[in-house]
Amino acid sequence: MKYWVKKELKPPHGKVYIIEDRCKGCGFCIEFCPQQVLQESEEFNSRGYHPPKLVENDKKCIGCSFCSLVCPEFAIYIEKEEENED
Partner 1 sequence: MARRIGVFICHCGINIAGVIDVEKVAEEMRKYPGVAFATTYQYMCSDPGQNLIREKIEEENLDAVVVAACSPSMHEETFRSVCKDYFSIYRCEMANIREQSSWVHDPEEATEKAIKLLKATVEKVRENEDFNPIMVPVERKCLVIGGGIAGIQAALDIADAGYKVILVEKEPSIGGRMAQLSETFPTLDCSQCILTPKMVMVSRHPNIKLLSYSEVIEISGFVGNFNVKILKNPRYVDEDKCTVCGDCEKVCPVIVPNEFEMKRAPRKAIFIPFPQAVPSTYTLDREACLGLAPLTCAECRDACEADAINYDMQAKVIEEKVGAIIVATGYDLYDKNKLVEYGYGDDDDIITSLEFERMLSASGPTGGKIIKPSTGEEPKKVVFIQCAGSRDVQHMPYCSSICCMYTAKHALLYKHNVHDGEAYIFYIDIRATGKGYEEFIARVMEEERINYIRGKVAKIFREGDKIVVYGIDTLTGKRVEIKADLVVLAMAIVGKKGTKDIAKLLKVAVDDGIFLKEAHPKLKPVEALSRGIYFAGCAQSPKDIPAVVAQASASASKVLSIISKDKLEKDPLIAVVDEEHCSGCGVCISVCPYEAMQRQPNGKAKCIEALCEGCGTCAASCPSGNIEMRNYKDEQIEKMIEVII
Residues contributing to the site for partner 1 (CB under 8 A): 1-6, 8-9, 11-12, 32, 34-35, 62-64, 66
CB of 13 to partner 1, least distance (A): 9
CB of 19 to partner 1, least distance (A): 21
Sign of CA dihedral 52, 65, 56, 19: negative
CB of 24 to partner 1, least distance (A): 20
Output 21 or 79, the one with its CB closest to partner 1.
Answer: 79
Sign of CA dihedral 60, 64, 66, 68: positive
Sign of CA dihedral 30, 28, 67, 19: negative
